[in-house]
């Protein structure tokens, strides 16, 4: 996969290729990222050199301008005035020293990374001789994926201290073209909204300084041709395998060339003592010419095979969660009652959400005191778990281990453990303070309290929550050390309790990124479970995440976040398209919908492998949303048809299905109609229609009213 020739290095696995070379004066030049080239023979290197007024001639060489050169490790100060990839006061050169190929990948220490088995890595060492700084660029390629990993390691090889201001994990220079940026934006309860706009001349950047990768601007990007669609056209995808502060920069220069960078935010003033190294988080790059749909398939396969923790399937019990039915009003009788009801209705797990620990009556108190509240759980968590499991259910528990309430034993004992302890009145979010995980004693404490609860009670699932932004921390190093500590804690807990499923949550999707995916089996996608809102959220998420990474439940109606009333069926159908599914309904609601709940639990249980392993396609996006989920064998196909707004006299809709095996025939569940794959893919499948008058309906009917959905199931015969 990695080939070296007099033209440079080519990393090419037949799906994607990356090429670079050592230019004059040892500068690392970027040659290509995109489709497979096969070989660098006959490859004409971009860019060419030309006379350009106002540019700086590098080292007295006329027409050699770093300011227009496509580089791998650009820095400021010698003629490149674009966004630097490496910044350190005094940096004046980065000159090629050596290169080596390694099997597998670079050890990134505590940082999460894609699994390296079968991969090959090219490491290129460059140095600044005057300053005594070494920058090693690592590029990793796997067979069978259109994905490449890139990172840099910066080491102080001098005998005096240095400061590192910036070390972009990813920095590539793309040739001139008219392109779009696609990225995700959002906020609490409306995460993962896709934005697309033209790249204009100038610098566009987004990122997070909130201490989490954030719902506002998670670290994902796609650069597309302006005419790229869902099915066609070039896409270059980028993602950072990191969960803290980050920054993405897209800079289009005056010649239309585009520099794309992803990494920790610049200006970090990271102290590097002699001999010390900084390892930047891993960035992933993807290329496809099959549109945004092709990009999603590339990410989905890669995430499932290389990022998500490996587990034996199935491990996604259909669950009942206490949050939206009971909030903080939980006690052992209520939980046992819910467990019995849940079991009767076909659920497989009971999840006790917030409210179970010492003194917790609302969100003002008790975070940090992770023992069962003696008043409401007098028999203790071990006994409660025993009772729940005796009903034949698994037991899950909510934690928010990175946080502390002022009103807590932990805070009274260790007021100095919080971030901002040295400040007058550190900011509170949801009435809570953040523990400073960069302190070793805090890290050890968090690991030990969670571990001791996992030892005390038979717990199969941990919902690991984090419900505020991190303020009062302007030290980039401590913010990064916080993340490394978090990764270490979760890694150790996973190792000690390999049977436990860990769910990542940060008020929903406030820390939903590829870093967390390496350590958590799934993510609580959003606190919004209203089906209409979730359509957009899950649709946006599906661009980067496979369904197996998403969690959902059927919550109450009217929805507690936006007040919208929705049918049980609409909630069921949208929640279907997540790897982990369940309910958060009170005993009364469960009873009122008993037969639907039972049927749904059966549906969810029987389709666990389909949602976690199937191929997901977005067939239509807009007022009507149509999704297709196809099992890996192609035997089973589920179509979601959702129409957000009711319309009088609506048009007949039909949709072409994708990726079925020609020659196969499919039978529609319910109606028994038989379809040939060719007909479904070429002519299309008619969608259900709202027939306000006809009785009996002439076509498969869609419910009347807003937010109408239908699940159509086809089976190969």
The answer on whether 707 is annotated among ligand-binding residues is no
Cα separation, 402 vs 464, whole angstroms: 9
Least distance (Å) from ligand GLA to the CB of residue 364? 12
> Is residue 527 among the annotated active site residues?
yes
The answer on whether 463 is annotated among ligand-binding residues is yes
Please say whether the beta carbons of 574 and 534 come within 8 A. Answer: yes
Residue 147 forms beta bridges with which residues?
A: 286
DSSP state of 183: E
Q: Is 432 helix (H, G, I), strand (E, B) or coil?
A: strand
Query: Of 442, 510, 438, nearest to 472 (Cα)?
Result: 438
Q: Which of 72, 93, 465, 573 binds ligand GLA (CB under 6 A)?
A: 465
Please, which residue, 90 or 556, has the CB nearer to ligand GLA? 556
Within 24-110, strands assigned E span 28-34, 86-87, 95-103
DSSP state of 635: S
Least distance (Å) from ligand GLA to the CB of residue 213? 16
**Phi, psi dihedral angles at 216 (to 5 degrees):** -70, -50
Least distance (Å) from ligand GLA to the CB of residue 189? 9
- Restricted to residues 278-297, the positions that interact with ligand GLA (CB under 6 A) are none
Least distance (Å) from ligand GLA to the CB of residue 442? 21
Q: Which of 165, 472, 521, 527 is catalytic?
A: 527
Please say whether the beta carbons of 393 and 344 come within 8 A. Answer: no
* Chain position whose Cβ is nearest to ligand GLA: 354
525 binds ligand GLA (CB under 6 A): no
Q: Is 309 left (phi over 0), alpha (psi -120 to 50) or beta?
A: beta
Q: Which of 507, 522, 561, 566 binds ligand GLA (CB under 6 A)?
A: 507
Burial of 300-327, coded b for 16+ CB within 10 Å and e otherwise, reads bbbbbebbbbeeeeebbbbbbbbbbbbe
Q: Is 642 helix (H, G, I), strand (E, B) or coil?
A: strand
Residue 246 forms beta bridges with which residues?
A: 208
505 binds ligand GLA (CB under 6 A): yes
| Chain position carrying tokens 């049918």 | 567
467 binds ligand GLA (CB under 6 A): yes
Residue by residue, DSSP assigns 243-283 as -SSEEEEEEE-TTS-EEEEEESPS---EEE-TT-EEEPPPE
> Is residue 530 among the annotated active site residues?
no
527 binds ligand GLA (CB under 6 A): yes
Query: Of 313, 256, 336, nearest to 612 (Cα)?
Result: 313
Please, which residue, 134 or 527, has the CB nearer to ligand GLA? 527
- Restricted to residues 318-337, the positions that interact with ligand GLA (CB under 6 A) are 323
502 binds ligand GLA (CB under 6 A): no
Please, which residue, 563 or 663, has the CB nearer to ligand GLA? 563
Query: Of 440, 73, 462, 71, nearest to 263 (Cα)?
Result: 73
Stretch touching ligand GLA by CB under 6 A, among 88-96, 263-271, 501-509, 568-576: 501-509
Please, which residue, 165 or 465, has the CB nearer to ligand GLA? 465
Please, which residue, 399 or 604, has the CB nearer to ligand GLA? 399
Please, which residue, 507 or 548, has the CB nearer to ligand GLA? 507
Stretch touching ligand GLA by CB under 6 A, among 127-135, 176-184, 277-285, 500-508: 500-508
Q: Is 583 helix (H, G, I), strand (E, B) or coil?
A: strand
Q: Which of 465, 530, 536, 617 is catalytic?
A: 465
The answer on whether 430 is annotated among ligand-binding residues is yes
Q: Which of 263, 396, 508, 555 binds ligand GLA (CB under 6 A)?
A: 508
Least distance (Å) from ligand GLA to the CB of residue 81? 44
Q: Using CA of residue 642, residue 645, residue 646, residue 652, what is the dihedral sign?
A: negative
Residue by residue, DSSP assigns 458-482 as ---EEEE---S---S---HHHHHHH
Please, which residue, 512 or 641, has the CB nearer to ligand GLA? 512
Q: Per-residue string for binding with ligand GLA, 479-498, x by CB under 6 A?
A: --------------------
Stretch touching ligand GLA by CB under 6 A, among 447-455, 468-476, 505-513, 560-568: 505-513
Q: Which of 116, 398, 461, 544 binds ligand GLA (CB under 6 A)?
A: 398
Q: Which of 173, 353, 369, 521 binds ligand GLA (CB under 6 A)?
A: 353
Least distance (Å) from ligand GLA to the CB of residue 571? 16
Residues 6+ apart with CB under 8 A from 690: 643, 646, 647, 650, 701, 702, 703, 704, 708
Tokens read off for 233: 């056209």
Q: Which of 96, 395, 399, 524 binds ligand GLA (CB under 6 A)?
A: 524
Least distance (Å) from ligand GLA to the CB of residue 589? 17
Burial of 144-155, coded b for 16+ CB within 10 Å and e otherwise, reads ebbbbbbbbbbb
What are the C-alpha distances in Å from 270 to residues 129, 212, 280, 508?
Answer: 20, 19, 12, 31
The answer on whether 188 is annotated among ligand-binding residues is yes
Please say whether the beta carbons of 398 and 351 come within 8 A. Answer: yes
Please, which residue, 447 or 527, has the CB nearer to ligand GLA? 527
The answer on whether 1 is annotated among ligand-binding residues is no
The answer on whether 465 is annotated among ligand-binding residues is yes
Stretch touching ligand GLA by CB under 6 A, among 74-82, 143-151, 483-491, 502-510: 502-510
Least distance (Å) from ligand GLA to the CB of residue 25? 53
Least distance (Å) from ligand GLA to the CB of residue 510? 8
212 binds ligand GLA (CB under 6 A): no
Cα separation, 210 vs 205, whole angstroms: 15
354 binds ligand GLA (CB under 6 A): yes
The answer on whether 381 is annotated among ligand-binding residues is no
Query: How many helices (DSSP H) and strands (DSSP E) are in the chain?
Result: 14, 40
Q: Active-site positions?
A: 465, 527
| Residues of each annotated binding site for substrate | 188, 353-354, 430, 463-467, 505, 527
Question: What is the contact surface with ligand GLA in residues (CB under 6 A)?
Answer: 323, 353-354, 398, 465, 467, 505, 507-508, 524, 527
Residues of the binding site: 188, 353-354, 430, 463-467, 505, 527
């Amino acid at each position: 996969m990695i080939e070296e020739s007099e033209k440079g290095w080519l990393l090419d696995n037949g799906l994607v290729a990356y090429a670079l070379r050592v230019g004059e004066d040892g500068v690392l030049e970027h040659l290509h990222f995109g489709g497979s080239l096969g070989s660098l023979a006959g490859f004409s290197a971009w860019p060419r050199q030309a006379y350009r007024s106002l540019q700086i001639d590098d080292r007295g060489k006329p027409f050699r301008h770093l300011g227009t050169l496509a580089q791998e490790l650009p820095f400021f100060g010698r003629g490149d005035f674009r966004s630097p990839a490496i910044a350190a006061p005094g940096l004046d050169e980065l000159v090629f020293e050596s290169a080596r190929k390694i099997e597998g990948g670079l050890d990134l220490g505590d940082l999460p990374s894609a699994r390296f088995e079968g991969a090959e890595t090219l490491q290129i060492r460059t140095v600044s001789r005057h300053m005594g700084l070494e920058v090693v660029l690592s590029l990793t390629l796997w067979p069978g994926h259109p994905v490449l990993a890139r990172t840099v390691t910066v080491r102080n090889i001098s005998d005096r201290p240095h400061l590192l201001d910036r070390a972009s994990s990813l920095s590539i220079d793309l040739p001139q073209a008219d392109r779009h940026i696609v990225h995700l934006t959002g906020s609490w309860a409306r995460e993962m909204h896709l934005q697309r706009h033209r790249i204009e001349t100038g610098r566009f950047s987004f990122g997070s300084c909130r201490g989490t990768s954030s719902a506002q601007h998670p670290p994902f990007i796609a650069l597309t041709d302006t005419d790229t669609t869902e099915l066609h056209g070039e896409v270059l995808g980028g993602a950072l395998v990191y969960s803290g502060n980050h920054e993405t920069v897209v800079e289009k220069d005056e010649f239309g060339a585009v520099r794309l960078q992803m990494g920790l935010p610049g200006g970090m003033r990271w102290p590097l003592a002699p001999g010390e190294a900084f390892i930047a988080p891993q960035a992933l790059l993807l290329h496809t010419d099959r549109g945004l749909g092709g990009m999603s398939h590339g990410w989905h396969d890669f995430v499932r095979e290389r990022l998500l923790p490996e587990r034996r399937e199935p491990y996604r019990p259909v669950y009942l969660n206490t949050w939206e039915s009971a909030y903080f009003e939980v006690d052992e009788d209520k939980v046992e009652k819910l467990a019995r009801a849940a079991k009767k209705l076909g659920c497989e797990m009971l999840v006790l959400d917030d409210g179970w620990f010492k003194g917790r009556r609302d969100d003002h108190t008790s975070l940090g005191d992770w023992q069962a509240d003696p008043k409401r759980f007098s028999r203790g968590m071990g006994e409660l778990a025993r009772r729940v499991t005796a009903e034949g259910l698994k037991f899950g528990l909510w934690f928010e281990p990175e946080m502390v309430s002022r009103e807590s034993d932990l805070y009274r004992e260790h007021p100095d453990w919080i971030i901002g302890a040295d400040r007058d009145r550190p900011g509170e979010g949801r009435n809570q303070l953040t523990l400073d995980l960069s302190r070793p004693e805090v890290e050890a404490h968090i690991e030990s309290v969670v571990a001791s609860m996992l030892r005390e009670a038979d717990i199969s699932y941990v919902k690991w929550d984090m419900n505020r932004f991190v303020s009062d921390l302007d030290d980039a190093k401590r913010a990064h050390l916080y993340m490394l500590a978090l990764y270490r804690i979760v890694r150790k807990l996973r190792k000690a309790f390999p049977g436990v499923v860990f769910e990542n949550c940060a008020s929903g999707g406030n820390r939903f990124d590829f870093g967390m995916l390496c350590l958590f089996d799934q993510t609580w996608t959003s606190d919004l479970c209203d089906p209409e809102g979730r359509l957009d959220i899950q649709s946006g998420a599906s661009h980067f995440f496979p369904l197996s990474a998403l969690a959902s439940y059927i919550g109450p109606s009217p929805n507690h976040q936006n007040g919208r009333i929705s049918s049980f069926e609409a909630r069921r159908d949208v929640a279907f398209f997540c790897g982990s599914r369940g309910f958060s309904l009170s005993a009364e609601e469960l009873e009122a919908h008993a037969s639907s709940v039972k049927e749904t639990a059966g549906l969810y249980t029987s389709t666990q492998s389909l949602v976690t392993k199937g191929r997901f396609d977005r067939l239509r996006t807009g007022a009507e949303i149509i999704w297709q989920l196809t099992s890996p064998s192609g035997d089973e196909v589920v179509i979601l048809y959702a129409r957000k707004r009711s319309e009088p006299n609506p048009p007949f809709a039909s949709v072409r299905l994708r990726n079925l095996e020609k020659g196969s025939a499919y039978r529609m569940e319910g109606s028994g109609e038989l379809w040939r794959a060719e007909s479904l893919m070429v002519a299309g499948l008619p969608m259900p229609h709202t027939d306000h008058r006809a009785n009996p309906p002439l076509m498969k009917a869609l419910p009347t009213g807003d937010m109408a959905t239908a699940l159509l199931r086809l089976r190969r015969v």
